[in-house]
Structure 1
């Protein structure tokens, strides 16, 4: 594809925001989890960046929470992301991460009114270590964030699946579970498939009901 055609597609397409909330607390350093997470995100970004459609352009932001919640990757077209690996350390300030994600969605300079419905993806292997209630309220019951599509993954057997269910805030949805680092990659393949399907659909605001081809556990 020529650079001129890419420019035309970018200017004509409406943003489809994807915000990843990634647990990078100290426990993610064990059993190859942070390495699998970094590799999976790199592969997801590569696929998103090569997905050309006149209707939607996938934009990605990554919020990490380990010790503190911070914006690891500002919201931008996936094709423009210059990826830097995440490092695992510290506690699990999940509530702060949700607040930061809600702030991004509510900022009309970052997510303009013409953008398609955002998707927020939360991944964690543990329990929140901060006062998470306000962040959950912001994400599920306030502002534009409450209308976002949400996906959640519990890594291993120590994740707070009840918190992840509350984050989803949808009785029709279930938390997916990756028993190990290998299955973490499968979850990201499922996320990638779901988002690219939306971006190419007649109405990217509609979230398709997709069967999980990787047979990940659900709770």
Structure 2
């Protein structure tokens, strides 16, 4: 009998791209900032779905980690972007960013993240960058594992008073800079760019394979400059 599957890859497992949103929900993010962040996140998800459809060989999986007085995972298990729904977050308390990054590092180091079909994860940090704990310990934890070191780290600095030095340290790359969002409209565009560009970059090169060094997106290639829009925060 002829093997009709010869030459076909119908049984080939899809490549996985894990996107982790790490959200600052401390007191400094309360009010208009948190409301705009929830709005921006909901606007970014359809764009992620559209890009995922265009790159059907990659399964985009989403998680959400929040931090204030404690670290909480509103979405702890990876959810396919097709069925992912953003639940509104509220702000209050301290800013345990370091503890959140340690939790994310542990998640990236989990056995299920090590397979050959996993692209470098994307970690999007949304914060004003004012931690109340040892953020260096969290960055060190990320750097301690292969997946943590390979992760594409994209910080979005929220507000004109954001601590850019802390967010720069999170990137771990001297030539890249945090994306800045000082108003709601810019935050929407930044989130859309951060949530979709790594997938496009990862699939654009035929030479990139799961487990290879990531194609890191350049922040200054996003559609807007830092100064665009009125400073309302």
Q: Same fold (TM over 0.5)?
A: yes
Larger radius of gyration: 2
Q: Partners in 2 of 1:208 and 1:78 — Cα distance?
A: 20
Q: 2:15 aligned with 1:14, yes or no?
A: yes
**2:181·2:226 contact (CA, 8 Å) conserved in 1?**
yes
Q: Partners in 2 of 1:27 and 1:111 — Cα distance?
A: 36
Partner residue in 2 for 1:66: 68
Q: Secondary structure at the match of 1:128?
A: coil
Cα distance, 1:108–1:76 mapped onto 2, change above 3 Å: farther
Residues 101-157 of structure 1, C-alpha deviations (whole Å, 9 max, x = no match)? 111110022563420011111111241011222211112344420111111111113
Cα distance, 1:166–1:126 mapped onto 2, change above 3 Å: closer
Q: Partners in 2 of 1:68 and 1:123 — Cα distance?
A: 16
Q: Secondary structure at the match of 2:112?
A: coil
Q: Secondary structure at the match of 1:22?
A: strand
* 1:89-104 → structure 2 map (5 Å cutoff): 89-104=92-107
**2:26·2:92 contact (CA, 8 Å) conserved in 1?**
yes
Partner residue in 2 for 1:56: 58
Match of 2:89 among 74, 86, 90: 86
Structure 1 stretches of 4+ moved >4 Å:
none
Q: Partners in 1 of 2:162 and 2:92 — Cα distance?
A: 17
**2:25·2:92 contact (CA, 8 Å) conserved in 1?**
yes
Partner residue in 2 for 1:5: none
Partner residue in 2 for 1:4: none
Partner residue in 1 for 2:3: none
Q: Secondary structure at the match of 2:137?
A: helix
Any unmatched runs of 5+ in structure 2? 1-8, 228-233
Cα distance, 1:110–1:141 mapped onto 2, change above 3 Å: closer
**1:58·1:199 contact (CA, 8 Å) conserved in 2?**
no
Residues 137-190 of structure 1, C-alpha deviations (whole Å, 9 max, x = no match)? 112344420111111111113322111111111011011211223321121122
Question: Which TM-score applies when normalising by structure 1?
Answer: 0.84
Q: 2:44 aligned with 1:41, yes or no?
A: no
**1:63·1:69 contact (CA, 8 Å) conserved in 2?**
yes
Q: Partners in 1 of 2:139 and 2:182 — Cα distance?
A: 25
Q: Partners in 1 of 2:42 and 2:58 — Cα distance?
A: 20
Any unmatched runs of 5+ in structure 1? 1-7
Question: Which TM-score applies when normalising by structure 2?
Answer: 0.80
- Superposed CA RMSD in Å reads 2.4
